[in-house]
Amino acid sequence: MFDAILNCTRLGVTYPDHGKSVRALTDVTFEVHKGEFVAVIGPSGCGKTTLLHVLAGLLPPTSGSVERNIELEGRPRTAMVFQENSVFPWMTVLQNAAFGLEMRRVPRAERERQAMAMLERFGLAGRERDYPGELSTGMKARVAVIRAFLSGAPVLLMDEPFAALDRQRRIMAQQELEELWESQRKTVVFVTHDVDEAIQLSDRVVVLSASPGTVLAEYKVPMTRPRTLLWERDDEAFALKRRIFELLQLAPLELSASCSQ
Amino acid sequence: MNNAISFARASWLVALILVAWQTLVGFRLLDPLFFPPPADLLSTLVSLVKSGEAGRQIAMTLSRTGVAFGLGVLWGAAASAVLALSATLRRAAQPLIAALYSTPRLTLLPMVMLLLGVNDLSRVFLVALGTALLMTIQISDAIRGVNKDYVDLAVNYGASRATVIRKVYLYACLPQIFTALRLSFSRALVLTISVELLNCDDGLGSMIWTAWQTFAIEKLYVSIAITATLGLFFQWLFQRLEERIAPWKEKTT
């Protein structure tokens, strides 16, 4: 497609590990369009994190190619959010949130103004001078997501940013992310191992297999936005969830059979 | 109030020992010739302070330690920066550093004196070498331990190599650098006093040795107590400094 902002073609990554070479990814082909929210889902060890590093340009692919059609105007091309170590422990909440702006040499007053506005919007007002060690896991994840959106990068790469949160906090974080994304329409590649999370958030789900990771299937999520939390009542969306479960062999056959009645 | 409580918690054992000591000597259960009672030691201390001898010896030892420590820290920081940038040099220097590290520094004194002369230059050089060794090992270790995620994050957000060093490596290493400074300083102080004890006309080490040679037992005890107190004071000082310079450290779980 002409508006593909990320384009992976037969991507493969092999890296040496204690003298042996380990294939993390093989023959991965998919594209991400501008403004699209794509979830990448797969079992652990399917090379999801490796894939994000390749998309971020931090790791060159061993074979195949990755095209990143991102025009640069003194901005980072991609902004990453990790599950752990996603914020710098030695920077305050405000400094962390404004880090992307700082790297773009936005003057201090301006970047702090923008970061404060975002922190206030997401319930972190009053915590801006705290260090991450004083925050809950959920707040840290929020700061990391805010930093990514503020960075000006057109593509956001998120590596299970909410995996460490309990179910309730994860739902809140997902709603905030959806709201932010609705207001800014950045391109997002969101890696997760949670099928519900993938369907809840994304326009399209890319399913990877385990070691070495390769694309098993791609599905469009058949739901309009804004989405309800009770999307499982939607027949099409629920059918998609079942298909992905089967593909990842998460559900025993009997369960799938009883579900289809 | 809290300070008073924590002071009491940390000092009751010392106070108890001093009281027991004084009492045992008072009942002649300890020979005052070998164990001069604390009250006498206190008056010896007062006279040493009044005569200016204590101050002069402390100043000599601290100036040697200070100069050597300062030079050693710069030397160690420069060495670890070079080693961090060049893997070739790192591999080549590793056995040398390990060999030097496992040699007691004091044994190098004769060789250093042979090359630099029997003077303060060789004393300071030896202590600086000891500091530089420990700092190099600790800083290199800290640099190796920096989580790659933070480096990836910074690079991903458009940080240059210089920015990554300044904003990630430096801060990530800062707590460990401070621990290294604290350790190195107390080692430097110990080494300076040892060198003075072996071969020097002034400083606390020489004061201790002279007291022993002239059988001035009270002076011997007092100079050891001064040495111990100095060490304690600098440990405390470096800890306070660390809390101010790396405030996130205790708050990280």
What is the DSSP secondary-structure string of A140-202? HHHHHHHHHHHT--SEEEEESTTTTS-HHHHHHHHHHHHHHHHHH--EEEEEES-HHHHHHH-
Q: Do A79 and B156 touch (CB under 8 A)?
A: yes
Spans of chain A below 70 pLDDT: 1-2, 72-74, 250-261
Q: How many CB atoms lie within 10 A of CB A108?
A: 10
**Rounded-to-integer distance, Cα B90 and Cα B98, Å:** 12
Q: Name the residue facing B150 among A76, A85, A147 (closest C-beta).
A: A85
Percent of chain B, pLDDT > 90? 74
* Confidence label for B153 from pLDDT (cuts 50, 70 and 90): very high
| pLDDT of the residue at B146 | 92
Q: Which residue has tokens 């710069």?
A: B74
| pLDDT of the residue at A251 | 52
Tell me whether strands A204-208 and A215-220 are parallel, antiparallel or unpaired. Answer: antiparallel
Instruction: Compute and round to an integer the Cα radius of gyration of chain B.
Output: 23
Q: Name the residue facing A133 among B149, B156, B248 (closest C-beta).
A: B248
pLDDT reading at B195 higher than 60: yes
Exposed/middle/buried for B226, CB within 10 Å: 0-12, 13-18, 19+?
A: buried
Site from A49, A75, A87, A90 to mutate, B interface, most B CB atoms within 10 angstroms: A90
Q: Who's near A128: CB < 8 A, 6+ residues apart?
A: A92, A93, A94, A97, A115, A116, A119
Q: How many CB atoms lie within 10 A of CB A164?
A: 15
| pLDDT of the residue at A46 | 74
Q: Do B157 and A100 touch (CB under 8 A)?
A: yes
pLDDT reading at B253 higher than 50: no
CB of A80 less than 8 A from some CB of B: yes
Contact A187, A149 (CB under 8 A): no
Q: How many CB atoms lie within 10 A of CB B120?
A: 18
Q: Do A85 and B147 touch (CB under 8 A)?
A: yes
Instruction: Compute and round to an integer the Cα radius of gyration of chain A.
Output: 19
φ, ψ for residue B139, nearest 5 deg: -65, -40
* Confidence label for B72 from pLDDT (cuts 50, 70 and 90): very high
Helix (H, G, I), strand (E, B) or coil at A237: helix
> Between the CA of residue A13 and those of A52, A53, B36, B101, B224, what are the distances in Å?
12, 11, 75, 42, 64
Contact A89, B146 (CB under 8 A): no
Chain B residues within 8 A of A99 when measuring between CB atoms:
157
Question: What is the arithmetic mean of pLDDT over B164-181?
Answer: 91
Q: Do A103 and B168 touch (CB under 8 A)?
A: no
Question: What is the arithmetic mean of pLDDT over B179-203?
Answer: 92
The nearest CA of chain A is from the CA of B170 a distance in Å of 10
Percent of chain B, pLDDT > 70? 98
Q: Is the peptide bond before B38 cis (omega within 30 degrees of 0)?
A: no
Residues 132-171 of A with CB under 8 A from B: 132-134, 147, 151, 153
φ, ψ for residue B243, nearest 5 deg: -65, -35
Q: Do B158 and A132 touch (CB under 8 A)?
A: no
| pLDDT of the residue at B51 | 94
Mean of pLDDT over chain B: 91
Q: Who's near A215: CB < 8 A, 6+ residues apart?
A: A27, A28, A29, A30, A206, A207, A208, A209
Please, what's the b/e burial string for A178-194 (b: 16 or more CB within 10 A of its CB; e: otherwise)? bebbeeeebbbbbbbbb
Q: What domains are defined for chain B? A: 61-247 (1.10.3720.10)
